Amino acid sequence: MLENAFNTPTEKNFFSPGRIMSGAGTRNKIPELVRGNGPIIVVADTLFAADPLIDDLHPVRRITVSGEPDEATLLSAAVEAPKDAAWIVAIGGGSTIDTAKAICAYLRHGKLRIRDESSVVGAPHLIAVPTTAGSGSETSRFFIMADKDSGQKISIRSWSCVPELAVLDPYFLANAPASTLALGAFDTFVHLWETFVCRHERSPFNDALCLNGMPQVLKGVHRLQNNSLTLEDILALQQSASLGGMAISNVRTGMVHTLGESLAAQVDLAHPASLFVFFSHVLRSYASEIQDRVTQLDIVTQSVMPEFGPVTIETLCGFWSDIFDHVGVTDDIQNTIAATSISGADLLDTIARDTVLAKENPVELKDKDIQWITETSLKRFTANLQSDLSVATSL
Ligand SMILES: [Fe+2]
């Protein structure tokens, strides 16, 4: 019954079944945790496929992941996985951890497309070791897989997907490019932001995560921009990403994610880049209704990071625009979008179908406002938008 319970204005719930171990060197504790306790499958991304940690785990099967997995590939990996696996250890970014979650779902439930199963006690035990800080997959109840035929992404939701242990070790991000860190940090920030301003589902439990995580993200990104990022800052970005995974598992994301995911179905953009396209104008569209939320964030940010100055919608938008420019991602987004024909009507249709968004957006969604957000956001990046937005207003 509680598996698909959502917050309302009068009922606030919170759940997060996973443990977290975080700190420099924590990865080295994993072999002693799993040794002698049954067969181990390691799922790793190409970057860390030869990491010494994997040899220390003595896996019976190694699965290497490159790129976002599609359902058919996941199914064949899951069918071929040793049925007696006691542990699945995922070492990689969101796609790698999602692959491990899918294999785990299949071994536990006999299928990939699970829905709202409760958290599971028993083998195989899932350990997630994220090598990026952004998606929050290591603490979330979701995994994403692509439908090869339609190109659509299928989001699977179940508390049984939450890894039993997330190990956050800054070792894995010490040499990450600035653009990777910035994109991941932005995804984290939007997870915390959108759940923080969610109209009815917001909760005091989730606010605590958001008010801790958002200032840490701003601080880490500021230091990234000034070339003064330390391992402690990286760890704080990892911890914030894990807070974001818990947040989106308890409160739904908002219009930035809905529009970004719809755009990413049409254009080959990384998830955080697709969010960035809409971020500023979505926030401006509801700024007047969330002043109390911005004030709370301002107070905490001033104590953690006084150099940020006053937190307002405009200073937040400017901050993220500067960092995207700084790491060269704005140009990449412009070039990718300019080379693609985008259907504004498809974007508007997605919003129209999203009935939860209509209920949870901080302000009532009006057709003309949605059209303004979509048009203005895309115009910033391209003049190549098809002129079908004007005919798609009858949402
Ligand atoms: Fe996201």
Tens of pLDDT, residues 229-242: 999 999 999 999 99
Mean pLDDT of 233-254: 97
Whether the link from the prior residue into 124 is cis, omega within 30° of 0, is yes
For the chain, what is the mean pLDDT? 92
Contact 225, 384 (CB under 8 A): no
Cα 1 to ligand 1 centroid, rounded to whole Å: 27
**Does 390 score more than 90 pLDDT?**
no
Q: Does domain 178-379 have CATH number 1.20.1090.10?
A: yes
pLDDT in tens, 138-194: 999 999 998 877 777 889 999 999 999 999 999 999 999 999 999 999 999 999 999
Cα 270 to ligand 1 centroid, rounded to whole Å: 10
Q: What is the secondary structure of 285-310 as a DSSP string?
A: HHGGG-HHHHHHHHHHHHHH-GGG-S
Cα 84 to ligand 1 centroid, rounded to whole Å: 33
CATH 1.20.1090.10 region(s) of the chain?
178-379
Contact 202, 7 (CB under 8 A): yes
d(CA 75, CA 2): 28
**Does 394 score more than 60 pLDDT?**
no
150 burial level (CB within 10 Å; 0-12, 13-18, 19+) = exposed
> Picking from 59-73, 87-101, 218-232, which range would have the lowest pLDDT averaged per residue?
59-73
Contact 168, 242 (CB under 8 A): yes
> Picking from 51-55, 266-270, 313-317, which range would have the lowest pLDDT averaged per residue?
266-270
List Cβ neighbours of 367 (8 Å cut-off, separation of 6 or more): 393, 394, 395
Q: Residue 227: what pLDDT?
A: 93
Q: Residue 127: what pLDDT?
A: 98
Q: Residue 153: what pLDDT?
A: 85
Q: Residue 259: what pLDDT?
A: 94
Q: Name 89's bridge partners.
A: 42, 127
Mean pLDDT of 54-68: 94
Confidence of residue 393 (pLDDT cuts 50, 70, 90): very low
Cα 99 to ligand 1 centroid, rounded to whole Å: 17
Q: Residue 392: what pLDDT?
A: 40
Cα 192 to ligand 1 centroid, rounded to whole Å: 10
Q: At 316, which helix (H) or strand (E)?
A: helix 313-326
pLDDT in tens, 333-385: 999 988 888 888 888 888 888 888 888 999 988 888 888 999 999 988 875 44
CATH 3.40.50.1970 region(s) of the chain?
2-173
Select the more confidently predicted residue: 382 or 320: 320
Torsion of CA 243, 246, 248, 250, to 10 degrees: -140
Q: Name 157's bridge partners.
A: 142
Q: Does domain 2-173 have CATH number 3.40.50.1970?
A: yes
What pTM does this model have? 0.94
Cα 362 to ligand 1 centroid, rounded to whole Å: 19
> Picking from 79-93, 207-221, 357-371, which range would have the lowest pLDDT averaged per residue?
357-371
Cα 223 to ligand 1 centroid, rounded to whole Å: 22
As a whole-number percent, the residues of the chain with pLDDT over 90 amount to 76
> Picking from 13-17, 129-133, 190-194, which range would have the lowest pLDDT averaged per residue?
13-17
Cα 80 to ligand 1 centroid, rounded to whole Å: 30
Q: At 155, which helix (H) or strand (E)?
A: strand 153-157
Q: Residue 2: what pLDDT?
A: 67
**Does 106 score more than 90 pLDDT?**
yes
Cα 176 to ligand 1 centroid, rounded to whole Å: 19
Mean pLDDT of 202-228: 97
Cα 138 to ligand 1 centroid, rounded to whole Å: 13
Mean pLDDT of 315-322: 98
Q: Which amino acid is at 341?
A: S
Cα 257 to ligand 1 centroid, rounded to whole Å: 6
Contact 168, 137 (CB under 8 A): no
Cα 70 to ligand 1 centroid, rounded to whole Å: 18
